[in-house]
């Protein structure tokens, strides 16, 4: 926890080069995380689409079975 406190102090009260370095590091870290999430979503997109189609199919089957008249 002291590292986070120290980071916040440098971000607010540190010298200009230190503040720029901290903000640059944060931007790079967040950018890399967003890039990984983007790549993960793009690579999983076919699986997500197939899962969505299967879910819609199950919902339609369930509705058809529920609304059908009871068998005698």
Is residue 55 a part of any domain in this protein? yes
User: Does residue 19 lie in a domain region?
Assistant: yes
Q: Look at residue 14 in the predicted model and tell me its pLDDT.
A: 87
Tens of pLDDT, residues 25-51: 999 999 999 999 999 989 999 999 999
Domain count of the fold of the chain: 1
State pTM to two decimals. Answer: 0.60
Who contacts 41 (Cβ-Cβ below 8 Å, separation ≥6)?
A: 48
Q: Which residue has the higher pLDDT, 49 or 4?
A: 49
DSSP output for 44-64 = HHHHHHHHHHHHHHHHHHHHH
Residue 47 lies in a domain: yes
Residue 72 resides in a domain: no
Q: Is residue 44 part of a domain?
A: yes
């Amino acid at each position: 926890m002291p590292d986070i406190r120290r980071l916040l102090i440098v971000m607010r009260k540190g010298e200009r080069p230190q503040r720029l370095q901290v903000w640059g590091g944060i931007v790079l870290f967040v950018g890399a995380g967003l890039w990984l999430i983007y790549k993960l979503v793009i690579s999983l997109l076919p699986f997500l689409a197939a899962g969505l189609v299967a879910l819609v199919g199950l919902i339609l089957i369930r509705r058809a079975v529920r609304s059908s008249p009871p068998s005698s």
